[in-house]
Amino acid sequence: MDFSNFLLMQQEMSLMAVFVILFIYDVFCSDKGKQWFQPIACILFTLHTAWGFLPALTGEAFGGMFVNSDMTVIMKNILNIATLLVFLQVNNWLKSHDTVHKRGEFFTITLVTLLGMYLMISAGNFMMLYIGMETASLPMACLAAFNKYREKSAEAGAKYILISALSSGVMLFGLSFLYGSMGTMYFSDMTAQVVSEPLMIVGFVFFFSGLAFKLSLVPFHLWTADVYEGAPTAVTAFLSVASKGAAAFALMFTLYKVFGNIEVVWNPILWWSSVITITAGNLFAIRQKDIKRFFAFSSISQAGYILLGIIAGTPLGMNATVYYVLVYVFSNLAAFGVISAIENRTNGNTLISAFNGLYKSNPRLSLIMMLAVFSLGGIPPFAGFFSKFYIFMAAADRGQFLLVFIALLNTVVSLYYYLLIIKAMFIKEGDEQSVDCFVTDGYNKISLILCTAGILAIGFLSCIYEHIGSKVDLFNF
């Protein structure tokens, strides 16, 4: 065996190293030493994130099973940033009575999930993709049920594991069709063989449905709200950005690389999924009273926007999609950072009414929340405006003006419910249900500052977009 293959897995190796160190530390250290777990995990992971930005080798490893390209490195970096921000937000929650004795587990399990996501992105073979997806989803169910003594959290874990089992099954079923008709699982070998014949189309549709569960596209979204609501807030945050981002990247790769020939088939499928997802996500979000459910539906509609970039099928589309996910990471995590700060204060009350009068009691948090929802809603001069604009440009580039128009009208709807939060925070008066003045813990502050900086700066720093664009290569990744 050629060990130089491992050189390509630079990020995976470093992640494993972090995992092993933390795992051993968790097992062997004293109770007193565990107090240091949070800072150690954060520092190690920061190092790992920084490591990811160093120049990496690119190429195929293990006979094409594993592919590392400039693009995958960028995607992994985005996921790293997301994970780092989540790690910074968990301190207060993990210190609570239910979870204090198992805080090490949170970090290690999250790292395993992240490893699965890496493999999904870097897969050069459908089996690898599948293994990556499983590695990412099983630990995720543990995380969702992390507050196991809370009924809703346990329920969320159960729901998540059932749904991921179902979606894996559906996906494997589709893959078996594809394998049956082509006799190979390697992306590079399949590309030329894919034609629009019934068996392959059926295989593709099942495969797509499997990933659609992960992306929570309508009509595969039914688990989302319950799991998001029940899971601990930090897990919800991770689920909504990292898990979704990884699925979007994997979908994009497979569509472009493997199913590029049958664009006529997947284009209408994605078109309709996108329209339905954005619309349904938005309409359901309006009715929500719980902020986590609210963000669940908001993130469903965001997934629809991501599809807009994927549907373009051009370098421009790929660029816009990756950029969109990057911005989405910062905006959504800013919102979840605020939510988790408030949730800790209100003992798990996540109703929107808890936000009433937030500006009077905690002006800074409310300002960050405002930036976050404006960015999610696509209001300039925040980063979300730029990412939405580019994703619309990418779709319009392919002549999808109708789709862009529908999406645009939906941004107006989304603005309505985002403004409801602004209204609660700024215009409504606080009552006994709403949160009082408090100080956010230091880690969360750092993460919120980073998110705010990201929301404010990413749009103006055109070099980020251009850098992603310079690495886009549709067929060699």
Partner 1 sequence: MNILSLFVLVPVLMILFLFVCKSMQQIRTVMVSGASALMILAVTLTVMFLQERAVSNAEMLFTSSTMWYPSLNIAYAVGVDGISVAMIVLSSIIVFTGVFSSWNMNMAKEYFLWYCLLSVGVFGFFISVDLFTMFMFYEVALIPMYLLIGLWGTGRKEYSAMKLTLMLMGGSAFLLIGILGIYYGSGHSSMNLLEIANNLHIPIEIQRWVFPATFLGFGVLGALFPFHTWSPDGHASAPTAVSMLHAGVLMKLGGYGCFRVAMYLMPEAAHELGWIFLILTGISVVYGAFSAVVQTDLKYINAYSSVSHCGLVLFAILMMNRTAMTGAIMQMLSHGLMTALFFALIGLIYGRTHTRDIREMGGLMKIMPFASVCYVIAGLASLGLPGLSGFVAEMTIFVGSFQHADVFHRILTIAACCSIVITAVYILRTVGKILYGPVQDSHHIGLPDASWYEKVSAVGLIVAITFMGMYPSGASELINNSLMPIIEKLAII
Q: Which residues bind partner 1 (CB under 8 A)?
A: 316, 319, 374, 379-381, 385, 389-390, 392-393, 396-397, 399, 401, 404-405, 408-409, 411-412, 415-416, 419, 422-423, 426-427, 462, 465-466, 469
Report in angstroms how near the CB of residue 379 gets to partner 1 at its nearest.
5
Report in angstroms how near the CB of residue 339 gets to partner 1 at its nearest.
21
Report in angstroms how near the CB of residue 59 gets to partner 1 at its nearest.
26
Report in angstroms how near the CB of residue 244 gets to partner 1 at its nearest.
25
In the bound state with partner 1, the residue whose beta carbon lies nearer, of 118 and 390, is 390
In the bound state with partner 1, the residue whose beta carbon lies nearer, of 228 and 390, is 390
Report in angstroms how near the CB of residue 416 gets to partner 1 at its nearest.
6
In the bound state with partner 1, the residue whose beta carbon lies nearer, of 68 and 331, is 331
Report in angstroms how near the CB of residue 388 gets to partner 1 at its nearest.
9
Report in angstroms how near the CB of residue 421 gets to partner 1 at its nearest.
12
In the bound state with partner 1, the residue whose beta carbon lies nearer, of 298 and 340, is 298
In the bound state with partner 1, the residue whose beta carbon lies nearer, of 7 and 413, is 413
Which residue's entry shows tokens 């994927």? 310
In the bound state with partner 1, the residue whose beta carbon lies nearer, of 163 and 325, is 325
In the bound state with partner 1, the residue whose beta carbon lies nearer, of 182 and 407, is 407
